[in-house]
Structures are given as C-alpha cells and as structure tokens.
Amino acid sequence: MNLTDEDKKEIKLNDLVGEASRELMREKRLEASNLVKSFLLKAESLTYDIKGKKRELEKMEVSLADTLGKIEKLRSGDWSILAQNTKPTKADSVHYEVPAGE
C-alpha cells in the first residue's frame, strides 16, 4: 500500500494533534495539582491560625470571667479585691491636674 502525499500529511497532522492534546492534558494536570497543593497549604495555615486565635480567645474569656467576678465582689461589698490588686495599671499612672483657677 502506497501512501499519497495527502495521506502522509493527514497522518502527520493527526500525530501533531494527538501530541498537542496529550501535552495540553499534562499541563492542565500539573496546573490542577499545583492549585490543589496551594489550597492545602492555605488550609493548613488557616487551621493553625484558627487554633491560635481559639487559644487567645480562651485566655480572654478567663480574664473576662475573672474581671466580672471581681466586679461582682465589689458590688456585694467585698473590698478585699482592692488589697489584692496592688499591681499598678496604666489607669493608675494617669494623673489629672486641676487648673489653678478652679
């Protein structure tokens, strides 16, 4: 069987299309793989951040409960909190000066 020049061109074209199609699929698979990897890394990072924020929130909730407990003690007339709170705070360092003419 002798192939004509036209047949040879058609076979070459089919080979080229098949090769290009396979190469395009390889590129798309690699692109999808890289995208999935980046999503997984982002998810891992967000999970880590969320765990840290949860720990931070827990500490703040404990501090809030402690503060509310102190307020409740003061409301009920238990002034012993004042003796316990000897550590100076930022509010303690604020000085208000009364102008001389008042």
- Angstrom distance (rounded) from CA 90 to CA 45: 35
- Angstrom distance (rounded) from CA 65 to CA 71: 10
Residue partners of 85: CB distance under 8 A and separation at least 6 = 70
46: confidence class by pLDDT, cuts 50, 70, 90: very high
**Hey, where are the domains in the chain?**
5-84
Which pLDDT score is estimated for 89? 62
41, 33 Cβ separation under 8 angstroms? no
Q: What angle do CA 30, 34, 37 make, to 5 degrees?
A: 140
Which pLDDT score is estimated for 87? 64
DSSP state letter for 81: H
15, 9 Cβ separation under 8 angstroms? no
